[in-house]
Amino acid sequence: MDTQDVLDRPARRRPPTVLLVEDEDDQRELVTVYLRRSGCEVISAPSAEAGLDLIEGVDLDLAVVDLRLPGMSGWTLSSALHERDPRCPIVVTSVLDLESYPPAHTALPKPFSIGQLRTALGRLLPHWSPT
């Protein structure tokens, strides 16, 4: 995916809205807490289908998607999100090998650290500074 499209997005005054789709409760809660502490509005979902339902009519700034999900896969969700808004950056996470990941703006192999997530946020949301 083209990172330049992400960098060309206009600056926003409101906090970034992030979709987090992760089926593991502990991981979803941990990442949600970090994103909220960093000043993001977080829409979290345990499945791709739930995530798509929750973002209807929402202008996303970033999506963080686990690849191995129940029901619709993270690959299919990433593709649907890209079709919905090609300029919305997508971060994929997984325990799978990197070469198995679909195209994305950033990949975070699990387990990833908060520092790696912070770096991804800084790169993909250049007009926003985490608190």
Query: Could you tell me the CATH number of the domain that includes residue 115?
Result: 3.40.50.2300
30 has a pLDDT exceeding 70: yes
> What local confidence, expressed as pLDDT, does residue 74 receive?
96
d(CA 63, CA 69): 15
> What local confidence, expressed as pLDDT, does residue 49 receive?
98
Q: What does the H/E/C string look like for 58-113?
A: CCCCEEEEECCCCCCCHHHHHHHHHHHCCCCCEEEEECCCHHHCCCCCEEEECCCC
111 belongs to a structural domain: yes
91 belongs to a structural domain: yes
Q: Per-residue pLDDT tens for 33-58?
A: 999 999 999 999 999 999 999 999 99
3-class DSSP assignment, residue 27 = helix
> What local confidence, expressed as pLDDT, does residue 98 receive?
84
36 belongs to a structural domain: yes
Q: Per-residue pLDDT tens for 48-88?
A: 999 999 999 999 999 999 999 999 999 999 999 999 999 99
pLDDT classification of 26: cutoffs 50, 70, 90: very high
Q: Note down the domain range covering 95.
A: 3-123
Q: Per-residue pLDDT tens for 81-122?
A: 999 999 999 999 999 888 888 888 999 999 999 999 999 999
Q: Give me the helix-helix angle, 114-124 and 25-37, nearest 10°.
A: 50
